[in-house]
Amino acid sequence: MAYILKHNQSAQCERHVVLVAPEIPGNTGSIGRTCLGAEAYLHLIKPLGFSLENRDVKRAGLDYWHRVKLTIWEDFESFEKKMDPQKDEMVLFTKNGAKPLWDMPSPARLFLVFGSETRGLPQTIVSRYKHATYQIPITDEIRSLNLATAVGIALYESLRP
């Protein structure tokens, strides 16, 4: 039996995926598709390493890309000023996060913040939210997970009742 997330079923919890300076268009397209499937918002913080018109973005997002709830920000400070996240609403994912994924809070509104594929999150952002750094545990066989995979894991874990 397939479980379907009914439209507006997640109305009691608002989820936002924030990508800071993403570099790989296919990852961003896949993440957009995942956000749409989970009724989450997608925020892209410039600079972007590609154009949103890139065919890899569209291919990975399939014919769903135009329905993604997408906002593009000039910088992280503009995002913070407009969205005004509260202290317990921010969850930053880094490979050196202080806490494991399953300890993340579950407020009604939550921002899941990820850095670029090659550089991660800027230290200036991590320093401001050091109380809110998390990691997805992995073995020492790999350096990191693919960004789209990490976002999918974190987003759906955040929706767990």
Which residue ranges make up the annotated binding site?
115, 136, 144
Local structure of residue 120 (DSSP, 8 states): B
Which residue ranges make up the annotated binding site for S-adenosyl-L-methionine?
115, 136, 144
Contacts of 53 by beta carbon, 8 Å cutoff, 6+ apart: none
Please state, in angstroms and rounded to a whole number, the distance separating the CA atoms of residues 18 and 76: 10
Please state, in angstroms and rounded to a whole number, the distance separating the CA atoms of residues 125 and 121: 7
Helix, coil or strand: residue 58: helix
Beta carbons of 35 and 41 less than 8 angstroms apart: yes
Using alpha carbons, select from 35, 42, 34, 39 the residue that is nearest to residue 18: 42
Between vectors from CA 105 to CA 37 and to CA 31, what angle results, nearest 5°? 25
